[in-house]
Structure 1
Amino acid sequence: MSEHASPLATVGGADAGGQNVHVAALSLALAARGHEVTVYTRRECPFQPEETAFAPGVTVVHVPAGPATVISKDDLLPWMPDFSRWLARRWKADPPDIAHSHFWMSGLATLSAARDTSVPVVHTFHALGTVKRRHQGKADTSPSGRIKAETVVAHRVDAVIATCADEVTELGRMRMPRHRVRVVPCGVDLSAFAPSGPRMDLGPGPILLAIGRPVPRKGVETTIRALGQVPGATLVIAGGDPADPEVTRLARVADRYGVADRLRFLGKVGRKAVPSLMRSADVVVSVPWYEPFGIVPLEAMACGVPVVASAVGGHLDTVVPGVTGLLVPPRQASLLGRALRRLLADPFLLSAYGIAAADRARSRYDWNRVAAQTATVYADVIASCRDGREGVCARMETGAA
C-alpha cells in the first residue's frame, strides 16, 4: 500500500521521489524472487485502469478513493477511509498473505482494512512527522493529527521496517517496542548506477553536483554559500523547473555570495540520465537539514563518486566518513566549504573514496539483498501471527481462554 507514491509515477514531481523508487524497486526485486506483489495506490486520473501490469509478478491497482485527480499528499487524509473500505472488500474475497504499508496514511488505511480480514501488517514510515515538525516548524504542512496517527500505526502494526538506525531511535522516543522494529535499508539499482558508463560534459571542473527536488530543506542554499570557499569549482544543480520559486530564490543567493558565474541549473533530469550525470561529477553534495534515508548519496556511491553529506538520518548509515566520503553538520556552509576544499585538493583521496563507495554500495545495498531481508521479515511476521492464532484457538478449545 502506497497511497500517494505510485511506482508508475515520474520521479521528480511535488510528491514523487524516494518512496516511489523504493516501492517500485522493492516490488520488482520481490517478484524476481518468486513472490506475487500487488501495489495499491490511489487513482489520480479517471482514465487510469483499475489494474496495470507493472512487470512479471507485479500488478499496480488504482484504488478509487476521493476524486480521480492529483491531490497533494497533505490533503489525502479525508479519503483514507474510502481507500480502506475498498481494500477490505477486496481482501475479504482474496486476502494477501501479508500487507506492507508505506507512509503513515497508508498505515492507517491498511490497519483498518486488515482488522476484519486478519491480514498481518508490516509498515515502513519513510518519514516521521516528529522529525519533520522539529526541523520545519511552522513551515510543516502535514495534517495536525499526523504525529498522533503515526504513534497509533507504530503500536498496532505487527512490525515496523525502519530504513536506518536513526529512525529506530526516533521510534524509541514514540515508545515503539524495539523487538518489533527491523532495520532494512533502501537499495540501489546496481545495473543502472555503476562506475562504468556514459558521462556528460558539465563544463570546466572540478564539478560539484547537487540533485533533488527544489525545496529549502534539501540544503542547496548551504552548498551555494559554501561554493564561495571552493575556488575554481562549478556547482551543478539538477531538479526542479527554472521558473520554480525556490530555483529563483537560490539564484538570488548565488548573486549575493558572488558565485553565480560558477553555478549551473539543469532543471529536471530524466531518471535514466541520472547515472551518467552522477558519473560526471567529482563530488556529489547532499546536505539536507534532515533526511529519513537519502537515496542520492547511495546512488552516487554506486557510481563510484565520493559524497559529502550532512550527518543526519540514513546518511549516518550509508556514508562512512574518511572511507566513502565526508559527513558535515547540516546548515554549516563554512564547514561544508572546508570539507570540499580538502577533498578536491587530493586527487588520490577522491579516487580512493570513489572505489570504496562503489564497493560498499555493491556489498550492502543491492535491491536483491534488500528484498531478501524484507522477505525474511514477512516470513517471521506471518509465522508469529500464525503461532499466535493457533495459541488462542488451543486455549479456547481447552477452556483456558
Structure 2
Amino acid sequence: MKILITSMFYKKSFGQGLCAEKLAEFLSKKHKVSVFHSEKKDFKAKKNLMIKRINSSKTKGMDILSFSFNLRNELIKKNDFDVIYSQDYSFGLVDFEELNCPVVYHARGTVKGNSLNRPKTELKTELMRKIAIPLMEKMDQRCCQKAKTVIAASETIKKEIENYYEIKGKKIKVVSDGVDLHKFSKTKTILIKAKKLKKKLKLENKKVILFAGRLVPQKGIIYLIKAMEKIVKKIPNAVLLIAGTNTSENYKKILEKEINKSSLGKQIKFLGYVKQEKMPELIEASDLIASPSTYEPIGIINIEAIAMNKPVIIPKTIGSIELLKESALIVNPKNSAGIAKTIIKIFSSKKVYKKLSFNGRKNAVKVEWNKIGKEVEKILKENKNE
C-alpha cells in the first residue's frame, strides 16, 4: 500500500505527534509511507518513509487553517496514495470528493468535548476561542462525516462522536494509543539513569509526583499545584515535577503566579520539554504520575507509567479508564482538595501503593505499539483503493 499520514505534530514526547511517529515507523516496514506535518524542523527520510513539512502560520489559531489550505494544495499537485490516514481535524478543509482516495480519520478526542470541558482562562484567549471553536468543531465533524472510517481512541470518544456529530457506530473503530514496552521497562540501564537523575534534581528521599504533558488549561495543572499546598502539610518531602512545553500563551506565567502565591517554590520544579528517550528514566525517578485533566481522551503518559508499574492519578472522564483502572485512583479534576486527599492516601499506605503498582505492566502489554500498528494496518487495508 501507498499510505499518506497527515499530522500537524510529529516526533513529540506525548500524544498525537508520538502516535504519528510510531505508526509511520511500523507501517513503513511493509508499505510505502509518506508523512505530511507542520513541525518547525525537517526530519530525515528512512527506507519506505518519506517525511515532508507543510508550511503553516506561526500565529496561534491561524496555524491549523494555513496547514489545512497548504495541505489541500499539496494533495491537488500529487495524490497517488491508496489510502490517506489523517491524524487531526486540520484535514477538515480538504475537499474529500476531489481526492479520489479513501480517508481514515483518527479522532483522539472531539473538539466539542474539549471545548465543553476546558477551564476558562484570560479574556483575550476566551474571545479568540469564541471565534475559532465553531469553525474547529465544523472541521472535526466534517472529518468524521466524510471519512470512510473513523478510528476513535477509546469507547468514550466513540460515544462522543456518535452523540455530538451524529455518526453511526458501525463506521467507528476503537483503537487505543500504545506504549513501547522495550523502552518503558525497569532495565538496569534505566534504573541507573533514574538514580543519577534523582541526584541531579536533588530528589533523594523525596516523594516525587510527576505531571508530563502540554502546559495548557485542560491538563488541570493548576488544580495539582493548589493540591500541593495540602499535600506538603501531610507529606513534607513531597515534590511536584512539571514536564512539558508551554503551548498556551501566558499559561506558564499563570501557573508560576499560583506557585508564588502559595510559597511552594522549592516543592515544584518546571523541567521544560523532555525528549521521549528520556521519559523512562523520569518516570522511574518518580513515585506516581498525576494527570488531573478536565478533558483527557487517552493520556499516553499514563500508559507509559503503568508499563513501569507506577501508580497514576487520573480524572473520572479519561477515555482509557478500563485499561488504567487497576493501577489508578480516580479524581474529580477540578477538586484540588480531592486530588490532595488521594495523593496523600497513596503515599501514606504501602499497601495501597503496592496494590496500584502490581498489575500495571500486565495491562500495558495489551496496547504495545506493534499490536496497535497491526490494528491500524488492518483498518487501512480494509479501506484502501482497489
* Band of TM-score, shorter chain: 0.7 to 0.9
Query: d(CA) in 1 for partners of 2:38 and 2:250?
Result: 28
Q: Which residue of 1 aligns with 2:156?
A: 166
Matching residue of 2:258: 253
Q: Is the 8 A contact 1:164 1:313 kept in 2?
A: no
- Please tell me whether the aligned partners of residues 291 and 312 of structure 1 are also in contact (alpha carbons under 8 angstroms): yes
**Residue equivalent to 1:77:** 65
User: Moved runs in structure 1, 4+ residues, more than 6 A?
Assistant: none
Once the two structures are superposed, the pairs formed by residues 1-400 of structure 1 within 5 Å of their partners are 1-7=5-11, 11=12, 17-32=14-29, 34-42=30-38, 44=40, 53-63=44-54, 70-72=58-60, 74-78=62-66, 80-91=68-79, 95-109=80-94, 112=95, 115-136=97-118, 138=126, 141=129, 142=132, 144-173=134-163, 174-196=165-187, 197=190, 198-199=193-194, 200-201=197-198, 202-230=203-231, 231-232=235-236, 233-240=238-245, 245-320=250-325, 323-361=326-364, 363-382=365-384, 386=386
Match of 1:207, SS state, is strand
Distance in 1, Cα, partners of 2:160 & 2:111: 10
Q: Which has the larger Rg?
A: 1
- In structure 2, give the amino acid aligned to 1:88: I
Deviations 1:353-401 (A, max 9, x none): 223112211x21111000111111112223xx75xxxxxxxxxxxxxxx
Matched letter for residue 361 of structure 2: A
1:37-73 CA distance string (max 9 Å, x none): 111224857xx5xxx643332211234x56xx64545
Assess if the C-alpha contact under 8 Å between 2:75 and 2:99 holds in 1: no
CA contact (8 A) 1:235 1:263 kept: yes
Q: Distance in 2 between matches of 1:71 and 1:257?
A: 33
Pair 1:23–1:285, CA change in 2 (3 A): same
Q: 1:73 to 1:292 in 2, by over 3 A?
A: farther
Is the contact made by 2:92 and 2:142 (CA closer than 8 Å) also made in structure 1?
no
SS of 1:229's partner is: helix
Q: Deviations over 1:301-327 (max 9, x none)?
A: 12221101112232424321xx21211
Q: Is the 8 A contact 1:101 1:124 kept in 2?
A: yes
CA spacing shift, 1:257–1:53, aligned 2, 3 Å: closer
Where in structure 1 are there 5+ consecutive unaligned residues?
387-401
| Distance change >3 Å, CA 314–CA 266, structure 1 → 2 | same
Distance in 1 of aligned mates of 2:60 and 2:251: 18
In the TM superposition, what is the alpha-carbon distance from 1:101 to its structure 2 partner? Answer: 0.8
Check whether the contact 2:7–2:20 (CA below 8 A) recurs between aligned residues: no
Larger RCO (CA within 8 A; separation ≥ 6): 2
Q: Matched residues in 1 for 2:375 and 2:76: separation?
A: 28
Identical positions, percent: 20
Which secondary structure state, in structure 2, belongs to the residue aligned with residue 185 of structure 1? coil
Distance 1:309 1:221 in 2: 15
Q: CA deviation at 1:270?
A: 2.8
Change (3 A) 1:206 1:289: same
Number of residues of Structure 1 aligned to a counterpart in Structure 2: 357
Q: Secondary structure at the match of 1:61?
A: strand
How far apart in 2 are the matches of 1:74 and 1:317?
A: 36
Alpha-carbon distance between aligned partners in 1 of 2:39 and 2:278, rounded to the nearest angstrom: 28
C-alpha displacement at 1:207, in angstroms? 1.1
Cα deviation for residue 206 of structure 1 reads: 1.3
Which segment drifts farther, 146-155 or 329-338? 146-155
Can you list the C-alpha shifts for 1:55-111, whole angstroms capped at 9, x where unaligned?
332211234x56xx64545433145334213213311xxx222110111112432xx
Partner of 1:391: none
Q: Return the letter of the residue paired with 1:35.
A: H
- TM-score, length of structure 2 as denominator length: 0.84
**Paired AA for residue 140 in structure 2:** E
